Structure 1
Amino acid sequence: MLRSFFGLLILCLCLSTTHAAEKTNIVFILSDDLGWKDLVCYGGSLAETPHLDQLAAEGMKFTNAYSPAPICSASRASILTGKTPARLHFEFVTKPAGVDPPFRELLPPPYTQDLPLKEVTLGEMLQQADYATGFFGKWHVNEHFKRYLGWSPTHGPKQQGFQTAVETFGSHPYAKKFDWKPGDFKTNEFPPDAVTDNAISFLKQKREQPFFLYLSYFHVHTPVRSPTDWLIEKYKDKAAAGPGEAKRRAHYGAFIETLDHYVGQVMMALDEQGLRDSTLIVFTSDNGGHPEYAENGPLRGSKWNLYEAGIRVPFLVRWPKHVQAGSVCTKPVSGIDLFPTFCEVAGGNCSKLTLDGKSLVPLFEGKSADWPTRALTWHFPYYHPEKGYKKAKESIGVNDFAVSKTRPVSAIRVGDSKLLQFYESGKRELYDLRSDPGEQHDLSNSQPERTAQLGAQLKQMLQDMDARYPTDPFTNQPKTD
């Protein structure tokens, strides 16, 4: 009897260990303001990105991937919850309490300070699935605490499901100790980055349970000021020969390669720990490229607007034994899809949650033929820029390398059709992204039925999400079309 008991106990322990070993570790890497075409594997020609190109070669590259919003906080809150910014009422960047959005012709809704604790985050969901959770880098979904981007003691990562979290700007110029001098870094040397180092320390920890690492880089967000002279020299001539302001572009190229180097360190650490085959890596960006730094053409627009370059992002996935190396997926996907995707990978249960995204696991596994056509929406009921609006460029073009005026707008994509709804004028624009990816030929007049259909669908979806709209200051009524 005693022997049988010990035999059963050993079997249970073995089953438990086997089950833990079978679970997939998840590494999610989010870059900041990286443009859709900044990586070589997406056609980028400024900076070298060997490690991210390797990630694409060893996994899957998505060519129609989107951020949930054209701006930081809104996109990050959406990724964390699997809900659209419209449903979350978190459509802009977080601001200090008491700061109101500027209004022009219309009055935007109030700013949101914090991602509410009632929302279930990736960290909380994966904890429930018995994952060790870690967060490192840029949070930006709480009101700034004590300093710009400071983590809140009530709404920071540790209060939102991340057991391990270390706050630091790392090597980004946001850091007050960013005091490197010219010549501090020799050729092929990069600044040490505490964000990366903390993340690697987390994945090296010995544990029986699987882990979820959320690595949120500050690169390549402004201020774009690289301390690596050798990299600036490397890209100086190429930047001068290309579009945009040469000095900015040289520093931007240095920033991109620096980000790539840090990602390469994480990939190497996974290999050294023997975790490659048991780890899913997803890499993407929080929104489109900055108009003064990124070469976004031939797509129109940039960060802060809903034309393609404002919301189209790189999206790379590596998952050995599940994702075919060197594969490409052309299906439209979004950052809102990450929550249900990670839930399925972890074996979690999200059935009771309201989610706007859809698990991408079938696409990872090459089952794109069965992927249904669906509607993706975006909602930005604000004006941008907040300051200097009058001086901003009136129209939004291709590779402007200038900040343009963004007015309250929503958008919907269904198949290859994309419609934008502008609330000031009530104007709608319709584009066929297959034949016109640069959104140069408005079809709203020649295809009035399709325009009306998509406009009605967008309006209904936003109403179902209880979206907030800009209001008419004279009638105090929301402008819903």
Structure 2
Amino acid sequence: MRRALIFLMLCCCSLPLSAAETPTNIVFILADDLGWRDLHCYGGQLADTPHLDQLAKQGMKFTNAYSPAPICSASRASILTGKTPARLHFEFVTKPAGVEPPTRLMQPPAYTQDLPLKEVTLGEMLQQADYETGFFGKWHVNEHYQRYLGWSPTHGPRQQGFQKAVETFGSHPYAKKFAWKPGDFKKDEFPPDAVTENAIRFLQQKRSQPFFLYLSYFHVHTPVKAPTDWLIEKYRGRAAVGPGDQKLRTHYGAFIETLDTYVGQVLDALDQQGLRESTLVVFTSDNGGHPEYAANGPLRGSKWNLYEAGIRVPLLVRWPGHVKADSVCEVPVSGTDLFPTFCEVAGGNCDSLTLDGQSLVPLLEGKAAAWQTRPLTWHFPYYHPEKGYETAKETIGVNDFAVSKTRPVSAIRSGDWKLLQFYETGKRELYDLSSDPGEQHDLSASQPEKAAQLGTQLQQMLQNMQARYPTAAASQK
């Protein structure tokens, strides 16, 4: 009898964990400057994106997902920490020491150089939850070291919780050592990409613990220059339809499909390793599409401003056994929500951290009633562009394919209402996104009480975050 019990115990111990007991791996893929409508599954007409479209079919597509900021470093720092750029005092792209923001009617706050080491990152939080962590691609939350986007030896991924990290530009034109010639790539061939290859090697490693892969692509950021002649030919005709620079749009279409292909290679690697069922996959972008070649309409604006197209981004989530296939979520969510989401999925402890995000797990599991509705805020106390501001377009429109003047501004979305607060003039703009997603009809004059309510709420939230504000320029005092 005793032998039988021991044998039974040994058998039970040797059995694989059930799906419920198996730790969930996490793959987070971040695109650079990918607009909310660049993917075909979001209505994009320029590029073919079969792999990301398939990911949307296999999981959940968010239609009101937002980046934490309209610009790269600020958004990435926020995603890494679960804190808003306003709370982090990291509201712009990282700049070298001594570089001051341009003063116009107002003086913006000083630029931030590095994400402080005191901040707890996704890598550190998940490492504490016994995850093996890997980072590959664009970091951009430290001062450029030795070259543009160079990782800092004191504030790079390895110092911020990522055990495995390889620095490379991959196949992006930033990697100037590549000199591909016309005809180097036959039809259906793509440039080999070291960022993707390093990520796949990380997935192929044998390990006894769950893993967190943060795959941060340089695509589809400028310079938009695709070396694949067959893709250029493919998109030349499509780019000729509608406004915008045909050459830029042609290369942009090729860039988008190239990104889609690389993501497909990573998803295939998961399948080949038998990891699909045990892995949460999240795909999104760091901010809205570039004004010169991304078709962001019918939303207004682009990267660098707080109108919808500057901050609304694609968000796709696949999590077998939790997320219903081919589902759509219309609830407004933010990149700051990813930190608490990953913490909950990993069984981590974030109770001691100050977080501005909220776990998406209830939404992912179809339990919207358990989701606590809250307002979203953005804070951009700067001018843009830094150079060429005087010649930039005065107004921000819809699909005008031009760089416009962005002035110091904050914004809040509460339900379907959105308010923008401009600091130069004190002007407020109020929009009802349910009937006016393109933000064409300012209701601040006809709805003064709603504008005042949201303005007060925005001010209080920013004060609670100890936000930094632009001040009157010396010449204006």
Range class of TM-score, shorter chain:
over 0.9
Q: Give the aligned partner of residue 61 of structure 1.
A: 61
Q: Counterpart of 1:357?
A: 357
| SS of residue in 1 equivalent to 2:185 | coil
CA contact (8 A) 2:77 2:141 kept: yes
- 1:226–1:255 CA contact under 8 A, matched in 2: yes
Q: 1:203: how far off?
A: 0.7
Specify the SS of the correspondent of 2:106.
coil
Q: Which residue of 1 aligns with 2:315?
A: 315
Q: Is the 8 A contact 1:32 1:217 kept in 2?
A: yes
Q: For residues 84 and 107 of structure 1, what CA distance do their matches in structure 2 show? A: 21
Q: What's the counterpart of residue 52 of structure 1?
A: 52
Q: Match of 1:41, as an amino acid?
A: C
Note if contact 1:379-1:411 (Cα within 8 Å) is conserved in structure 2: yes
Aligned 8 A contact 1:26 1:279 in 2: yes
* Residue matched to 1:278: 278
Contact 1:21/1:210 (<8 A) preserved: no
Deviations 1:254-298 (A, max 9, x none): 000000000000010000000000000000000000000100000
Query: Could you state the TM-score of these two structures normalised by the residue count of structure 1?
Result: 0.96
- SS state of the match for residue 214, structure 1? strand
**1:159 counterpart = 2:159:** yes
How many pairs does the alignment contain?
476
> Corresponding residue for 1:119?
119
User: What are the Cα deviations for residues 208-235 of structure 1, in whole angstroms up to 9, with x where unaligned?
Assistant: 1000000000000000000001001000
Say whether the 8 Å CA contact 1:23–1:278 is kept in structure 2.
yes
Identity %: 80
Tell me by how many angstroms 1:243 deviates. 2.2
Is 1:423 the counterpart of 2:423 in the alignment? yes
Within 2, Cα distance between the matches of 1:86 and 1:326? 35
1:190-205 paired onto structure 2 within 5 Å: 190-205=190-205
SS at 2:391's partner residue?
coil
Q: Distance in 1 between matches of 2:476 and 2:390?
A: 24
- Once residues 359 and 69 of structure 1 are traced to their aligned partners in structure 2, the CA distance between those partners, rounded to angstroms, is 19
Q: Which residue is equivalent to 1:289?
A: 289
Conserved? CA contact 1:20–1:209, under 8 Å? no
Deviation of the 1:241 alpha carbon? 1.4
CA contact (8 A) 2:104 2:473 kept: no
- What SS does structure 1 have at the residue aligned with 2:79? helix
For the pair 1:213 / 2:218, whether they are aligned, the reply is no
Q: Distance in 1 between matches of 2:168 and 2:438?
A: 38
Describe the shift of the 1:229–1:308 C-alpha distance in structure 2 as closer, same or farther (beyond 3 A).
same
Q: 1:160 to 1:245 in 2, by over 3 A?
A: same
Task: Say whether the 8 Å CA contact 1:20–1:210 is kept in structure 2.
Answer: no
* Number of the residue aligned with 1:377: 377
Q: Name the counterpart of 2:233.
A: 233
What are the residue-to-residue correspondences of 1:81-100 with 2, within 5 Å?
81-100=81-100
In 2, are the aligned partners of 1:96 and 1:143 still within 8 Å (CA)? yes
Deviations 1:119-143 (A, max 9, x none): 0000000000000000000000000
CA distance in 2, matches of 1:200, 1:215: 10
1:19 Cα offset (Å): 9.6
Equivalent in the alignment of 1:468? 468
CA shift in 2, pair 1:114/1:12, >3 Å: farther
CA shift for structure 1 position 9: 9.9
* Change in 2 beyond 3 A, CA 1:325/1:474: same
Q: What is the Cα deviation at residue 371 of structure 1?
A: 2.4
Query: Shift in Å at residue 368 of structure 1?
Result: 1.7
Query: What are the equivalent positions in structure 2 for 1:107-146 lying under 5 Å apart?
Result: 107-146=107-146
Deviation digits for residues 181-227 of structure 1 (CA, Å, limit 9, x no counterpart): 11100000000000000000001100010000000000000000000
Contact 1:292–1:401 under 8 Å retained in 2: yes
The amino acid that maps onto 2:197 is D
Instruction: Provide the secondary structure at the position in 2 that maps to 1:429.
Output: strand
Q: Which residue of 1 aligns with 2:402?
A: 402
Question: 2:240 is paired with a residue of what secondary structure?
Answer: helix
Q: Which residue of 2 aligns with 1:442?
A: 442
Q: Secondary structure at the match of 2:390?
A: coil
Q: Could you tell me how far 1:437 is from its partner in structure 2?
A: 0.1
**Equivalent position of 2:326 in the other structure:** 326
Whole-Å separation in 1 of the counterparts to 2:471 and 2:43:
41
1:367 is displaced (CA, Å) by 1.2
8 Å CA contact 1:126–1:346 kept in 2: the answer is: yes
The Cα of 1:17 is off from its aligned counterpart by 6.8
CA distance in 1, matches of 2:178, 2:6: 58
Superposed CA offset, 1:225-252 (max 9, x none)? 0000100100001101122110000000
Aligned CA distance change for structure 1 residues 16 and 453 (closer, same or farther; 3 Å): same
CA distance in 2, matches of 1:353, 1:107: 32
Contact 1:139/1:149 (CA < 8 Å) preserved in 2?
yes
Q: Report if aligned partners of 1:337, 1:359 keep a CA contact under 8 Å in 2.
A: yes
**CA shift in 2, pair 1:5/1:78, >3 Å:** farther
SS in 2 for 1:280: strand
Amino acid at match of 1:128: Q
- The letter of the residue matching 1:71 is I
What residue number does 2:175 align with?
A: 175
Runs ≥4 residues deviating over 2 A = 2-21, 369-373, 473-477
Q: CA deviation at 1:396?
A: 0.3
Asked if 1:189 corresponds to 2:189, the answer is yes
Cα contact 1:17–1:208 (8 A) shared by 2: no
Please say if residues 416 and 433 of structure 1, whose CA atoms lie closer than 8 Å, have aligned partners that are also in contact: yes
Deviation at 1:176, TM superposition (A): 2.0
By how many angstroms is 1:156 displaced?
0.2
Question: Post-superposition shift, 1:178?
Answer: 2.3
Shift of 1:456: 0.3
Q: Rate the CA distance shift 1:391–1:4 in 2: closer, same or farther, 3 A.
A: farther
Q: Give the match's secondary structure for 1:390.
A: helix
Show CA shifts across 1:49-92 (max 9, x none).
00000000000000000000000000000000000000000000
The answer for the alignment partner of 1:33 in structure 2 is 33
- Distance in 1 of aligned mates of 2:21 and 2:222: 41
Question: Aligned AA for 2:424?
Answer: E
User: Counterpart of 2:398 in 1: which secondary structure?
Assistant: coil
1:262: which partner in 2? Answer: 262
Aligned to 1:224: 224
